[in-house]
Structure 1
């Protein structure tokens, strides 16, 4: 079998995406989603694997900017639509596409690649480490209360049209990007991703709705949600399906959740894709009845070790020599001297003895500050050669807030 990798032309996107759908089970995306992805496509980053004239594999990427610890926002490749059709799996097609893609990312000067994995076991062998997690909740609202912070009583809530409020809500989102690692600085058009609302996908819920929070005349937050009515012989048993909650302070954040808890004819609130340190976990009076469930989210690949480690800041002063192992991207192999603190960092090759030994996968996992080097060492994935280096580096790589990616791509 001879496989040829080629970039697609814009006019080929429809046939290319159809093969992506086939690789993911053959279900066709709804028209609204399909149009959104067609508009976001970057042809020069979209690769097809051909067997003759037949597309048998696909891989794409978006040109994003993502926040990193310290508040910087850096270019990253957002890897997407990676799949191989059933007839051509386990024949090296995926590996060839990953090789081509990471070479391209490096050539563009992007130090990082990120993705949301359909199957977590796949991407570790290409150097992607789990850099951010998320959780979902199903809250029994009749039995769970909220501890309201000072100032919540002055927050005014107003229902708004989803489309009419889109620009104002996006302004709230944009103000939060630098404060949390992993958030995406949304390019024009990407603000529509959180409001896609095809009727066929609602599963009995209402159209998407929006409530905005005001402190005086100032917009300070919003929530987007739908209501799925349900009735039992005992009465109403509806569900509030929460899409987004963003706010500029604890008073507005709590007021928005109280509103969602108190919607008539409902007995539960569900929400997924929340950051693992979400203040909601500390507002609720009974966490058990919220049924929190943790899952993996953003996977991070270090493409350029020196540039990536110098792009972020560090929670404590650190001077450590990292011996990085990276068979898939051998240019990252070797020893790297990292010196940094809260003001900035420098990373360069060195001949000094190594303090810590780890693979690029573990370096990606710890990069955004959500996975500690100490935890990875406890699993045997990081080796300490200089006593004290592990504690020093683990503290420095940490982030005061957990990394979080707000939506898929």
Structure 2
């Protein structure tokens, strides 16, 4: 879509609402080093990070070309150059069922200073981002959240869950495949190009993944200034028998001061294009010398690992919500993905924001392709925009939502239609 979104004026409705409270909503001029530094300090404070160094600020400013950054300023405070609230957003392709993708509005860096809470600032910022996304003809907004109680009121819902795994390696003897190929130690910089090409190569296989590069990728490789954890990070790659890169992993080790043979290995990332790469890299991790526990953060809910070790209970699981989405254009969003079964359902959607409000006839042909049109027919299914977002990627069951009193109607047909053979998953935070 080009960079036209960078030049759109700030949302007037939210601007006027905040101006009535003597606050100023505006776009950040990222070409101004001092203005960017003040904005970045405010964002860092919002996430309880340390005060960024000048060197880090300058490095981060080098990544701003594709991001639209907004702030809310209070000219009466002691540091008026620093905003009291921030957001940033950019277009990113979101993978949907059927090995397809749809353009989405990725929202990040949502902060409000604790000195300015409960003044409607977060609502003004989020609604401004949603209206901006609609102005850009983007049918979906996405975000990963630090707090799960905020975003439902804006029509977002968790659509791709994730799991944290804790593995007792003394019990988890490897029983899975023993593929050929080779594992090599490499540096993060050695993965800079080939690793990103692999990430993009596998992206369409999993609903919920987004296209990314730049700061999100280089942060994954530990290449950001001031990243102390990066000094402990190790990288390995797996090449198949022909020498082609098919997977990589990164991890760090923490010593047990009471027993040197019981280190903790934290698996940071594991990305694979083949079953052999998956098996080889997981076996490498689980058989690491002097390690008694592996912790893997942000893994898919359909992870097959427990079926590849001798003791099922050696792998403990904690589930978390991760990717939240918001539908902004029902026909464009629903027509972007494919469906598991053919059929026709009329979806009645309530949406206080107005984007999804109405009745929509969803017709799916025998090849899984959908056509969506507005209709005056009675609804077969009733829900809110929040539930529509939850089921969109096929990972949240309409039957479960019906049991929770969130969806009503012909939910068994809805379940069969929206089901995805691959559980949705997003492998990064942003």
Verify same fold: TM over 0.5: yes
Structure 2 CA distance for aligned equivalents of residues 56 and 271 of structure 1: 35
Q: Secondary structure at the match of 1:232?
A: coil
Give the alignment of 1:3-402 within 5 angstroms: 3-10=23-30, 11=32, 12-25=35-48, 27-28=50-51, 37-41=60-64, 45-52=68-75, 54=80, 55-149=83-177, 152-188=178-214, 190-196=216-222, 206-232=232-258, 235-328=260-353, 330-341=354-365, 342-384=367-409, 389-402=410-423
* Contact preservation (8 Å) 1:105, 1:113: yes
Check the 8 A contact 1:148/1:251 in 2, yes or no.
no
Shift of residue 354, structure 1, vs aligned partner: 0.5
Q: How far apart are the structure 2 equivalents of 1:37 and 1:315?
A: 43
Alpha-carbon shift at residue 252 of structure 1 (Å):
2.1
Note the residue ranges of structure 1 that are not aligned, 5 or more in a row: none
Helix, strand or coil for the counterpart of 1:184?
coil
Distance 1:77 1:173 in 2: 20
The 3 A distance-change label for structure 1 pair 36 and 121 is: farther
Query: 1:191 deviation in Å?
Result: 2.8
1:195–1:208 CA contact under 8 A, matched in 2:
no
Kindly state the Cα deviation for residue 110 of structure 1 after the two structures are TM-superposed: 0.6
Shift of 1:344: 1.7
Matched positions, count: 401
Q: Give the Cα–Cα distance (whole angstroms) in 2 for the partners of residues 68 and 300 of structure 1.
A: 12
Name segments (4+ residues, structure 1) moved above 6 Å: 30-33
Secondary structure of 1:277 counterpart: coil
Residues 87 and 232 (structure 1), Cα distance of their counterparts in 2 relative to 1, 3 Å cut: closer
Normalized against structure 2, the TM-score is what? 0.87
Q: 1:336 to 1:204 in 2, by over 3 A?
A: closer
Moved more, 364-373 or 238-247: 238-247
Instruction: Please identify, of 162-171 and 263-272, the stretch whose mean Cα deviation from structure 2 is larger.
Output: 162-171
Q: Aligned pair in 2 of structure 1 residues 254, 47: CA closer, same or farther (>3 Å)?
A: same
- Structure 2: gaps of 5 or more residues: 1-20
Give the C-alpha shift of residue 192 in structure 1. 1.6
Partner of 2:11: none
Cα offset, 1:305, TM superposition: 1.2
Q: CA deviation at 1:30?
A: 7.2
For the structure 1 residues 29 and 269, does the alpha-carbon distance in structure 2 shift closer, same or farther, using more than 3 Å as the test?
farther
Distance in 1 separating the partners of 2:418 and 2:56: 37
C-alpha distance in 2, partners of 1:69/1:264?
A: 40
Distance, in Å, in 2 between the alignment partners of 1:315 and 1:211 is: 35
Given that 1:8 and 1:44 are in contact with CA atoms closer than 8 Å, whether structure 2 keeps it comes out as no
Q: Aligned-pair RMSD on alpha carbons?
A: 2.3
What is the SS of the residue equivalent to 1:46? Answer: strand
Q: TM-score, normalised by structure 1?
A: 0.91
Q: Deviations over 1:334-360 (max 9, x none)?
A: 101111254421111101110111010
Query: How far apart are 1:365 and its partner, in Å?
Result: 0.7
